[in-house]
Amino acid sequence: MKTTILNQRAERDELMSRPYQQRHTRYDADELLQNPLIKLITGPRRVGKSVFALLMLQGKNFAYLNFDDNQLLEKWDEDLAMSALEDVYPGYDFMLLDEVQNLPGWDLWVSKLYRRCKNLIITGSNANMLSREMATVLTGRYLQIEMLPFSLEETMTWKNVSPQLEEQAAQAVTLADDYM
């Protein structure tokens, strides 16, 4: 278990070193992190939920578990995982659980972590997890942060295209057409 979590730490650190486009959202990351409720980042697949969580936690001491990892799921032992997290991320302030819906019984484990005052950030895209289960299992204990695909403005920023610049007007039109 510890080896798997160490490998995931290396993955987390590599992901944190990449350049990302900051999202334009109505959420203030510092306010979210100060809130003791579970931060549940939801949305369709591939919209940047995990990246949003990583950017929100940039510069913070946080533990990371990615449940899109068969090694973690196959070896799952709650007690061993918690012990390994303490060894790998000593004194962590936040816990990021990426795609936690892949863990059988995730809801009971998350509830237990919440009762133990862990500051949790969770990502998930499974429709079942995000609707019926969350409404009954974690009612009143989570903040939902909804992510959508890049806006046209975010896409233009990511591609370094400014529609206001005459020399980029044609490129902006092409990009807008592609976006639509």
Question: Are 167 and 120 in the same domain?
Answer: no
Average pLDDT in the 129-136 region? Answer: 55
Amino acid of residue 95: M
Of 76-85, 95-104, 141-150, minimum mean pLDDT range: 141-150
- Measured CA to CA, the distance from residue 180 to residue 178 in angstroms comes to 5
Question: Are 165 and 97 in the same domain?
Answer: no
Which of 147, 154, 148, 156 has the alpha carbon at shortest distance from 53?
147
Q: Domain tally for the chain?
A: 2
CB atoms under 10 Å from CB of 47, counted, come to 18
Q: Which long-range contacts (CB under 8 A, 24 or more apart) does 21-24 make?
A: 21/150, 21/154, 21/157, 21/158, 22/55, 23/48, 23/52, 23/55, 23/147, 23/154, 24/151, 24/153, 24/154
130 or 79: whose pLDDT is higher?
Answer: 79
Average pLDDT in the 90-101 region? Answer: 95
Please give the pLDDT value at position 60: 96
Q: Percent of the chain at pLDDT above 90? A: 51
Residues 37 and 138 sit within 8 Å (Cβ to Cβ): no
Summarize pLDDT for 155-178 with one digit per residue, the tens.
788 788 888 888 888 888 888 888
- Measured CA to CA, the distance from residue 74 to residue 1 in angstroms comes to 10
Question: Are 95 and 157 in the same domain?
Answer: no
pLDDT tier at 129, thresholds 50, 70, 90: low
Q: Percent of the chain at pLDDT above 70? A: 93
Please give the model's pTM, rounded to 2 decimal places: 0.84
The distance from CA 106 to its chain's CA centroid, rounded to whole angstroms, is 16
Determine the structural domain holding residue 155 and report its residue range. Answer: 150-180
Residue 124 per-residue DSSP state: E
Question: Are 156 and 137 in the same domain?
Answer: no
The CATH number of the domain holding residue 141 is 3.40.50.300
